[in-house]
Amino acid sequence: MKNPNPAKVAVVDELKEKFADTDGMILTEYRGLDVAAMAELRHALRQAGGEYKIYKNTLVRLAARDAGLEIEDLLVGPTALAFVGERPDGSDGDVAAVAKAIREFAKSNQLLVVKGGVLGDKPLDSDEIKALAELPSREILLAQLAGAFQAPMASFARLLSAVPRHFAYALNALIEKRGGPDAVAETPAETPAEGEPRSDQSEPDTTAAAPTAAAPTDDGDATGDASTAATAAAPTAAAAAESDDASNPTEASADADAGQAGESGEASQEKEA
């Protein structure tokens, strides 16, 4: 192009800059819209983070060609471009929010026609723009994403808090099953098997039963020990005799009969005399 118009060059440079800075762009046909309708549409798009601009198709085609965007087939008839930019509060705009604003405006202004658009460097047709309008806004998507990340952490935290609680429940149930804390504390010892000695049963002390003979230290001690032994043996002999008498009742009866017979004879002899 010889001697290009500086104004047109500036517009092409402006378009190329907007193509580079925007996340998305929606192309519409505005034929038949009056000034009031256009102002209303621009206001709605500005609140959603969009900017509505009208350029000549030839200049848009040149800028899109330099930027590598394939939108030349959409540049037919009166065309306006809705760029995704910043909201009035300075936050980033959203392609879905801009698409929603255009859809809501088109419900009451059917002269506005959506041709297509661009998301990043990918061209979109009108059906894909309508699908974008059905998506939740960026804020809602971020909130859902945060909730998706938070849910596993919350579940894990609940699981950690439930472990000691369930352990306490199980421990209380075990204590109640065994009859309370006192019963658990005083658990009886295990019963030994048949034939095994009990742990608490002491073996008989054989040393206590065996007589202990003290070694004599001198003659006096030996005499005292002998007397003591004799004295201790006397009751034992008497007990043995009684035991023999008790064990032989027949002999004791015979002796008694003999005694009675002797007494009777002596009495008869005295009578005869």
pLDDT digits (tens, 9 = 90+) for 115-152: 999 998 899 999 999 998 988 766 676 676 777 766 66
102-117 pLDDT, tens digit per residue, is 999 999 999 999 999 9
Q: Distance (Å, rounded) from C-alpha 255 to C-alpha 239?
A: 20
Ranking 3-17, 55-69, 177-191, 246-260 by mean pLDDT, the lowest is 246-260
Q: Return the pLDDT at 143.
A: 74
DSSP assignment of 114-142 equals EEEEEETTEEEEHHHHHHHHHSPPHHHHH
Q: What percent of the chain has pLDDT over 90?
A: 40
State the sign of the Cα–Cα–Cα–Cα dihedral 116, 118, 123, 128. negative
Sheet holding 50-54, edge to edge: 50-54, 80-84, 24-29, 113-119, 122-125
Q: Distance (Å, rounded) from C-alpha 6 to C-alpha 9?
A: 5
Q: Please report which residue ranges of the chain form alpha helices under DSSP H.
A: 6-21, 35-47, 57-67, 95-108, 126-134, 138-177, 181-185, 206-209, 219-247, 249-272
pTM, entire model: 0.52
State the sign of the Cα–Cα–Cα–Cα dihedral 32, 38, 42, 44. negative
1-25 pLDDT, tens digit per residue, is 567 788 999 999 999 999 999 989 9
Closest CA to 123 of 64, 45, 56: 64
The mean of the pLDDT values for the chain is: 72
Q: Distance (Å, rounded) from C-alpha 225 to C-alpha 234?
A: 14
User: CA torsion 15→17→19→22, rounded to 10°?
Assistant: -130
Is residue 74 within a helix (H) or strand (E), and if so which, with residue range? none
What's 77's DSSP letter? S
Which one of 3.30.70.1730, 3.20.20.140, 3.30.565.10, 3.30.950.10 gives the CATH number of domain 6-135? 3.30.70.1730
Contact in structure between 108 and 37 (CB atoms under 8 Å) = no
Q: What is the mean pLDDT of residues 64-70?
A: 92
Q: Distance (Å, rounded) from C-alpha 113 to C-alpha 228?
A: 138
Q: Return the pLDDT at 135.
A: 81
Closest CA to 65 of 120, 12, 102: 12
Q: Return the pLDDT at 78.
A: 93
Q: Return the pLDDT at 247.
A: 44
- Tokens representing 161? 């808090």
**Residues composing the chain:** 273
Contact in structure between 216 and 225 (CB atoms under 8 Å) = yes
> Which residues is 25 bridged to in the sheet?
83, 118
User: CA torsion 122→123→128→134, rounded to 10°?
Assistant: 60
